[in-house]
Chain A
Amino acid sequence: QSALTQPRSVSGSPGQSVTISCTGTSSDVGAYNYVAWYQQHPGKAPKLMISDVSKRPSGVPDRFSGSKSGNTASLTISGLQAEDEADYYCCSYAGDYTWVFGGGTKLTVL
């Protein structure tokens, strides 16, 4: 299956909000509410930030939120902070017990 489509980069100033999109197909993102978002700092393993489209695991700030419309999922980070600067990846269950990741988005906090 093909990777999910994310913008290569987004940026925002401290305190602002940014939204990262993740576009798939009717066979993955559009078919299941099993979309997750991960944050990855350089040299570190990915960290789960959002599960099941919009659920926030314990310990994740409520500045992070997720949503989905049709074949596109979105991650919104409000009240940007310097430590939010990282790479962000979406991931969706793609049916037939397979998973697919997005191409990743580099978030720069200006």
Chain B
Amino acid sequence: QVQLAQSGAEVKKPGASVKVSCKASGYTFTSYTMHWVRQAPGQSLEWMGWVNGGNGNLKYSQKFKGRVTIIRDTSATTVYMELSSLKYEDTAVYYCVREGHWLLDLWGQGTLVTVS
């Protein structure tokens, strides 16, 4: 079935980097764009950026530019999000989300990243 499966929870020290993976299955990977959205504890959703599954084009939120890197591996139908120079306030659940025609329609299960 159509799904996004994310990697497991991570605990990192301040200043470190974290890399979260998102494996897509059940649909044509290169026909969609993959976004990353995060949610700090008790807070709202925050859009971080995206990678086009076909041509690899990228767009990052100004807030995370310089700290976030999103890459795709078409052979593995997997997208990765790396966040560097982690701060305590980066503690959040990170979601990958498929986008088709301006709609974020399919969400991964989320990956908890704890900076402590």
Interface of A toward B, CB cutoff 8 Å: 3, 32, 34, 36, 38, 45-48, 51-52, 57, 89, 91, 93, 97-104
Contacts and interface: CB of A to CB of B under 8 A. Distances in A.
A100 B61 CA distance: 10
Contacts of B108: 45
A45 B46 contact: no
A102 B104 contact: no
B13 interface: no
Interface residues of B, number: 18
Provide the main secondary structure of the chain B interface: strand
A36 B95 contact: no
Interface of B: 35, 37, 44-47, 50, 59, 61, 95, 102-105, 107-110
B45 A97 contact: no
A99 B17 CA distance: 25
Contacts of B37: 101
Contact of A98 (B59, B105, B109): B59
Which of the listed residues A51, A52, A99 has the most CB atoms from chain B within 10 Å of its own CB? A99
A101 B61 contact: no
Contacts, number: 47
Contact of A100 (B35, B47, B103): B47
A89 B95 CA distance: 15
Contact of B45 (A46, A57, A93): A46
A68 to B, nearest CB: 14
A51 B59 CA distance: 22
Contacts of A48: 103-105
B36 to A, nearest CB: 11
Nearest to A33: B102
A104 B95 contact: no
B107 A46 contact: yes
B81 to A, nearest CB: 15
A92 to B, nearest CB: 10
A91 B104 contact: yes
Contacts of A89: 44-45
Contacts of B105: 48, 51, 57
